[in-house]
Amino acid sequence: MKTPVILAFVFLALFLLPLVTVLGETSSTYTIQIGSDGSATWTVSQTLEVNSSVETLQTLQNRITSLVDSAEIATGRNMVATVDSLTFTRPANSSYIQAEYVFEWENFSEVEKTRIVIGDVFLVPNFFDQLYGDGEVYMTYPSNYVVDTVQPAPFMRNDSIQTLEWLGTKDLENGGRIVLEQESAAPSFIDTLGANGFLILGLIAIAACSSVGFYLFGHHRKKKVDASEPGKLTNLPVMEDDEQKTVKLLQSSGGTLRQSAIIDKFGFSKAKASQLLAVLERKGVVRRYKKGRDKIVVLNEQANGENS
């Protein structure tokens, strides 16, 4: 009977030991959110017993001011810290309370052009003891920065959410140094022009010279054509009009042809052939007379002689 009782007692002791540790001692967590201007938003969380003494807003401000004054002396940077909030929460039916302190710390980090350097404030002796002692430390940084250096190595590092985690504060107090490097942004249009100014100017100059050259060449060719004698365009085919072709056909046929033969020869429509021959009649070049359903076209002797 004694063995089961002893085992039950040991199991109960092991089960209750973590709870006693949590409720009997202060448990702190530090979350430090780094800003791109070097500032930091601190959030300190504590789990306290219900009957524990708690901070007031004034005592918290005094604690933070004292720490910042020491850090200002150690780093040589002007610093200001302002408490944003002090809240206490007690879960239902619990024997502990959750405290959360939030304060803003200006010039917490050193900004060097595209870099943020963090860690010189931790050179203040007993830095975290001046806050709330040992505890886990979470540090987050801006999304447009990447970690270049981190000492000491964190317990956990998640670059996708820009977070570093240490399980205790002692590592940072022994010489922590975190260097963040700003990611290079895509060059703007003005930056591109500045970096490639000579190349762009050279291309513009080449394009301008080419345009002037084409213009002068085209203008010179046009002047050469304009300078030739009017009416003497060489190497151009001589085009015969329909009247000339009709007269030559009549001459080669002995001066007489049916109108239908002229239509068949040149592929004229009946209307066009009739109109063409009517013009020649008015000019006295030909004469026509009806024969059956067709007409006979006769080349006048005078016209025949002039065109022979």
What is the secondary structure of 208-248 as a DSSP string?
Answer: HHHHHHHHHHHHHHHHHHHHSPTT--TT-PPPPPHHHHHHH
2-182: what CATH class?
A: mainly beta
What pLDDT, on the 0 to 100 scale, is given for residue 217?
Answer: 58
CA distance 217 to 220: 5
Every domain of the chain with CATH number 1.10.10.10 lies at 242-307
Is pLDDT at 73 greater than 60 in this prediction? yes
Tens of pLDDT along 99-136?
A: 899 999 999 999 988 999 998 999 899 899 999 889 99
CA distance 15 to 47: 19
- pLDDT, mean of residues 135-145: 94
Q: Is 112 helix (H, G, I), strand (E, B) or coil?
A: strand
What pLDDT, on the 0 to 100 scale, is given for residue 234?
Answer: 45
Tens of pLDDT along 254-292?
A: 889 999 999 998 888 988 889 999 999 999 999 999 888
CA distance 102 to 82: 9
Count Cβ atoms within 10 A of the Cβ of residue 158 and give its class: 0-12 exposed, 13-18 middle, 19 or more buried.
exposed
Every domain of the chain with CATH number 2.60.40 lies at 2-182
pLDDT band at 32; cut points 50, 70, 90 = very high
Point out the least confidently predicted range of 49-58, 145-154, 231-240: 231-240
Q: What angle do CA 72, 78, 80 make, to 5 degrees?
A: 85
Tens of pLDDT along 156-183?
A: 999 999 999 999 998 887 768 999 999 8
Tens of pLDDT along 171-215?
A: 887 768 999 999 875 455 565 556 666 676 777 777 766 665 666
pLDDT band at 66; cut points 50, 70, 90 = very high
What is the secondary structure of 34-72 as a DSSP string?
Answer: E-TTS-EEEEEEEEEETTS----HHHHHHHHHHHHHHHH
Under CATH, what is the fold of the domain 242-307? Answer: Arc Repressor Mutant, subunit A (1.10.10)
β-strands 163-166, 177-182 pairing: unpaired
